[in-house]
Structure 1
Amino acid sequence: MKRTINRTLQSVAIVISVSAFVADFGLFGPPAAEADEVTITIKTESKKQEDSSTNRPFVGERPAVDVAVLLDTSNSMDGLIDQAKSQLWNIVQEFAKAKRAGKTPLLRVSVFEYGNTNLPATEGYIRQVVQLTDDLDKVSEALFALSTSGGDEYCGEVISEAIKRLDWNGEPNSYKAVFIAGNEPFTQGSVDYKMACRQAIDHGIIVNTIHCGDYQTGINGKWKDGAELAEGKYMNINQDEQVVHIKCPQDKIIIELNAELNKTYLWYGAEEKRKGYAANQAAQDSNAYGSGGLSSRAAAKSSSLYRNVGRDLVDTFEEDNEAVRKLEVEKFPAEMQGLSPEQRMEKIESMSKRRAEIKAKLAAVNRERLAYIAAEKAKAADESAEDTFGDAFSEAVRNQLQTSGFEIEN
């Protein structure tokens, strides 16, 4: 018996630097058991045609955004790591501008490092540094803890591991992307990069590649081919380009407001965890200050992307007040444990109101700051300046989210 199955595979092309969005794919099931031979014809429609799934109405509580950042930490990549550290909060702000059906996305980020000889050779010189998490302080902590050491960079293997290990969301309207950056040929290692990239796109995950070096060298090394296989974007950067942070008259006010914002956090859980959350928030403020990015971090903290549900009483109460009401007394901050349940709720609601006021002020001052930066950049335009990790990432995210149905605020 011979049957012919005709299916149409619809897809959406996405333009972004190290990450991209994949719409639904019409995957066909296995042939019937009684068939001797099945011929399958796939008609691929033009990538310019919009996939109907892109425009499906969003029905979730918040649109889901999952991003895995895969960084080469071999000897020559110190500049790349420095760029990622100093530009993290600029990148977060790009996500904060995105909305679907009026809702800011729930952003989760994972970090992998690869190509470092301090990592086990039996594991392909790969390490999952951070699982997908909405704890952006944890992501910042992980980036600042990275160090480099020479090694073999296995792009196919680290992409494959990221696809398999991470708990990627199943929201049909989600944006899922891998951003991989490095400088050696994409073809190294025992895992075929073509297989890994196809594996990613089969799971609705776009792969965007950032080659650290010459554009044509990256093409020759198959970085562009890898991106195209997974409907992502190929980019190249100069990993040794110095990141320029423009000092603004608004910085002083933003830093003061950031200090006030920190006072509104009511960390909860076991005592050790409470102290750890508070200490890490302060540590990442310090890290951002040292790399010239504290104003950007403070601005990101004023958005709903910086959330600490499950760690902070205010954020948790706003999402699930019953969970807070049922919390054991010893899990509350020490200063709240002696209060009555009613007094605890009054304290949380008071802090929620205070936080909202500070965030509104921060957002307003940051708009002035961004306008100042734009004007200064226009005056000092340097055509010789090369793209950095943050430049490529931000542009890709902005374009990709827009293509995938998000509205982007200016």
Structure 2
Amino acid sequence: MKILQKLGLLLLPTCLFWGGTGLSLVSAQGVKITIETGSNTTATVTSSDAKEPFTGQRPAVDVTILLDTSNSMDGLINQARNQLWNIVQEFAKAKKSGKTPLLRVSIFEYGNSRLPASEDYIRQVVPLTDDLDKVSEALFALSTSGGDEYCGSVITEAIKRLDWSSEPNAYKAIFIAGNEPFDQGPVDYRSACKKAIGDGVVVNTIHCGNYDQGVRGKWQEGAKLAEGKFLNINQDEKVVHIKTPHDKIIIELNAELNKTYLWYGSKSKRQSYATNQAMQDSNAGRGLSSRAAIKSSSLYRNVGRDLVDTYLEDASVVQELKDEELPEELRGLSVQERMSRIEEMAKRRAEIKQQLAEASKKRDAFALEQQRAAQPAAPGAITLGDAFSDAISEQLQESGFEVGE
């Protein structure tokens, strides 16, 4: 026991194994201690990386955004809408074992008086999904109304309701933004935050307003309890989109990219997918270049909706679909002919994505130069996107991801 105390391992969870030569203890952190029998008792410590190597198809990233939609939060909602694609770009920089993650995003709203008081003014807007157009659509459908903001309740519901990844070392995080005290409501925020981190979900708190007020309102303590970051933003700060000479070609390439999607399913579903993609392009407004950059990456995927993405993951879908579930251009064709058309479209899409990625890289470089040459931002001019960026890179690396520029 004294040996373990000297090694600082007394409090580690351990498993004990008795062998012919002594006692071995293996901690949950991957540290092995062997105590040999005999006159000279020794302890051997073998450390292994706590981050197990990823061996699956795509490493998991699950992110849930909890937005206060009470009366004073119109600015916050607008920032979320305008900066969604910039936030997603932070994840596009990450890889694990050379593989881009499968990003799923969920949205909850809380503190809105239109929501039932019996449910603590909480609503799950979107479950964890890789359909980023659905996330964007949901953000643009939000509206604010006065209410009571219960942070402990909404964190608890997010942990309970969502199908969080069970992959070892997945990056799982909650980002909760609001401006009222963190300790309001019937659910103790401390137990909610401890439950979250106990399930491997980090909680980052984003207080809209004065830093000291956020500390007094327990936003900092909530983040500490769940091993997240405490951040402050000005929810009314206007989001600035830098215009560049590369935007025109990016917009043109995005339009060409949209022509490569082969939506399938019932007629209403096909129309819905196509309409929503075009609508979210429109909603992106001056941020369309950021959205187009994401559409050129593997984070933007439409498996189960688009035949190209689905075929590349599971070619058998071509044989399983009924003729009426196919897009018009694939009807009346043999299975082999369908596959050839899909492969041609996949090749065309890959070419456009490559051009789009190159144009986006040039755009980012130009925008960065413009930012460096501009006047420094005023103190406190921090937006929701800035807060996400501040936390994501560091936390992804802690979850075993490599994060590039």
Q: Cα distance, 1:383 vs. partner?
A: 3.6
> C-alpha distance in 2, partners of 1:239/1:180?
13
Q: What CA RMSD, in Å, does the superposition of the two structures yield over aligned residues?
A: 1.7
- After TM superposition, list the pairs within 5 Å mapping 1:354-369 onto structure 2: 354-369=348-363
> C-alpha distance in 1, partners of 2:93/2:318?
29
1:397 paired with 2:386, answer no
1:405 alignment partner AA:
G
The residue number in structure 2 matching 1:74 is 70
> C-alpha distance in 1, partners of 2:340/2:73?
50
The residue number in structure 2 matching 1:334 is 328
The residue number in structure 2 matching 1:293 is 287
> C-alpha distance in 2, partners of 1:199/1:391?
27
Q: Cα distance, 1:9 vs. partner?
A: 5.5
> C-alpha distance in 1, partners of 2:390/2:149?
25
Q: Cα distance, 1:51 vs. partner?
A: 8.2
Q: Cα distance, 1:270 vs. partner?
A: 1.0
Decide whether the 8 Å contact of 1:316 with 1:324 is kept in 2.
Answer: no
Q: Cα distance, 1:271 vs. partner?
A: 1.1
2:66 alignment partner AA:
L
1:63 paired with 2:59, answer yes
The residue number in structure 1 matching 2:339 is 345
User: Secondary structure, in 3 states, of the residue corresponding to 1:225?
Assistant: helix
Q: Cα distance, 1:343 vs. partner?
A: 1.2
The residue number in structure 2 matching 1:85 is 81
Q: Cα distance, 1:327 vs. partner?
A: 2.1
> C-alpha distance in 1, partners of 2:366/2:394?
23
1:372 alignment partner AA:
F
1:399 alignment partner AA:
E
> C-alpha distance in 2, partners of 1:391/1:6?
40
User: Secondary structure, in 3 states, of the residue corresponding to 2:169?
Assistant: coil
- After TM superposition, list the pairs within 5 Å mapping 1:27-176 onto structure 2: 52-54=49-51, 56-176=52-172
The residue number in structure 1 matching 2:368 is 374
> C-alpha distance in 2, partners of 1:383/1:7?
46
- Percent of aligned positions with the same letter in both sequences? 67
> C-alpha distance in 1, partners of 2:142/2:13?
41
> C-alpha distance in 1, partners of 2:259/2:335?
21
Give CA-to-partner distance per residue, 1:196-243, whole Å, 9 cap, x none.
Answer: 001101111000000000111100000000000000000000000111
The residue number in structure 2 matching 1:311 is 305
Alignment: residue pair count: 367
> C-alpha distance in 2, partners of 1:164/1:89?
27
1:253 paired with 2:253, answer no
2:366 alignment partner AA:
Y
> C-alpha distance in 2, partners of 1:143/1:197?
25
1:347 alignment partner AA:
R
Decide whether the 8 Å contact of 1:65 with 1:105 is kept in 2.
Answer: yes
Decide whether the 8 Å contact of 1:109 with 1:134 is kept in 2.
Answer: yes
1:387 paired with 2:382, answer yes
Query: What stretches of structure 1 move > 6 A for 4+ residues in a row?
Result: none
TM score, norm. by length of structure 2:
0.88
> C-alpha distance in 2, partners of 1:71/1:9?
37
User: Secondary structure, in 3 states, of the residue corresponding to 2:50?
Assistant: helix
Q: Cα distance, 1:335 vs. partner?
A: 2.5
Q: 1 or 2 for the larger relative contact order (CA 8 Å, sep ≥6)? A: 1
1:381 alignment partner AA:
Q
> C-alpha distance in 2, partners of 1:280/1:326?
25
Q: Cα distance, 1:325 vs. partner?
A: 2.8
1:8 paired with 2:15, answer no
> C-alpha distance in 2, partners of 1:324/1:179?
39
User: Secondary structure, in 3 states, of the residue corresponding to 2:12?
Assistant: strand
The residue number in structure 2 matching 1:22 is none
The residue number in structure 1 matching 2:402 is 407
User: Secondary structure, in 3 states, of the residue corresponding to 2:154?
Assistant: helix
Q: Cα distance, 1:58 vs. partner?
A: 0.8
Runs of at least 5 residues in structure 2 that lack an aligned partner in the other structure? 1-8, 15-26, 30-46
Decide whether the 8 Å contact of 2:173 with 2:201 is kept in 1.
Answer: yes
> C-alpha distance in 2, partners of 1:26/1:231?
19
> C-alpha distance in 2, partners of 1:107/1:9?
32
2:109 alignment partner AA:
E
Q: Cα distance, 1:403 vs. partner?
A: 2.4
Runs of at least 5 residues in structure 1 that lack an aligned partner in the other structure? 11-24, 28-49
Choose 1 or 2 for highest CA Rg. Answer: 2
